[in-house]
Structure 1
Amino acid sequence: MSPREVRRLLIVHHTASPALQALFEAVRDGAATDEVEGVEVVARAALRATAVDVFEADGVLLGTPANIGYMSGALKHFFDTVYYPCLEETRRLPYGLYVHGNDDTTGAVRAVESIAGGLGWERVRPPVTVTGAPGKDDLAACWELGATLAATLSPA
């Protein structure tokens, strides 16, 4: 955890559809809720996020579609880019995950959790998984995921 007075939550996402856009917005809104103080929310597209972004973060929230039973290539690229530079310095970093799929999200969740586990990151709560069009409960679960991760990081 950073000694900074304001903590940083990094949202790394691959938002490739209207459904994922809705989930991303709900997660971001939850993370930025006025109910949680002292947390700055920074969002980066998975193809733009770097190891420096991770080093500067006190927690990470990951978002991906489930593509052919796996995470998106963009999120995989993010992990490929940051894995070894971050391997030792980001152990115990709190993280959360949301996944959207048309049919099944199991393989994508398993893949992300395997890599995050290899990095030594600590999952704050079970992933939010959504299949098909997101409903009101799905958006609420994403909002709660963002708010929970931000509250975990809050110095207040």
Structure 2
Amino acid sequence: MTLKRLLIVAHAPSANLRRMCAALLEGARAAEIEGVETQTLGAFEARSEDVMAADGVILLTPENLGYMSGAVKDFFDRCYYPCLERTQGLPYALCIRAGSDGTGTRLGVERIVTGLRWRAIGEPLICRGEWREDFVGECRDLGMLMAAGLEAGVF
């Protein structure tokens, strides 16, 4: 069996964002999922080669001034043109830690991935407002959903 590759690209400068990132990874590596290998890279570390080697991507960003983090924007700036013709149809999921509503962050990411012609696996997970412990479980569920969908060939 050929393993699918899931890439998590995260900007997680706070303890809570690191917990969310760890939960995404934990869900993606659930015992029930055997056919997916997962790699987590910081947004400043991830390269276009990493994206092109992936079968799916999860993006994690905080909402910064009503937009994605500068690190995630930097990731897209470096990867956009090398990936443009080579990653069309790539399934992705978006997770936003939003202090307010996350709308500007969502729109900014969606504009870029629309240009790349990536395919969302569902609505973005937007963890809004004050920190809640259930954000961790929601991230775990998203990681598991993405990995299980890749393994099953749904995405």
Does TM, scored on the shorter chain, surpass 0.5? yes
**Equivalenced residues, count:** 153
CA displacement, residues 48-87 of structure 1 (integer Å, 9 cap, x when unaligned) = 1000000110000000010000000000000001101100
Number of the residue aligned with 2:7: 10
Number of the residue aligned with 2:23: 26
Number of the residue aligned with 1:102: 99
How far residue 36 of structure 1 moved from its aligned partner, in angstroms, is 1.2
Instruction: Read off the aligned partner of 1:154 and give its amino acid letter.
Output: E
TM-score by length of 1: 0.93
2:56 to 40, 59, 71: 59
How many Å separate the matches in 2 of 1:110 and 1:128?
13
Matched, 1:92 2:89: yes
TM-score by length of 2: 0.93
How many Å separate the matches in 2 of 1:26 and 1:65?
15
How many Å separate the matches in 2 of 1:149 and 1:94?
9
Matched, 1:119 2:138: no
| Aligned-CA RMSD value | 1.4
Contact 1:7-1:155 within 8 A present in 2 as well: no
Instruction: Read off the aligned partner of 1:137 and give its amino acid letter.
Output: D
1:137 to 112, 134, 148: 134
State the secondary structure of the residue aligned to 1:103.
Answer: coil
Contact 1:5-1:155 within 8 A present in 2 as well: no
2:73 to 62, 73, 76: 76
Q: Percent identity?
A: 44
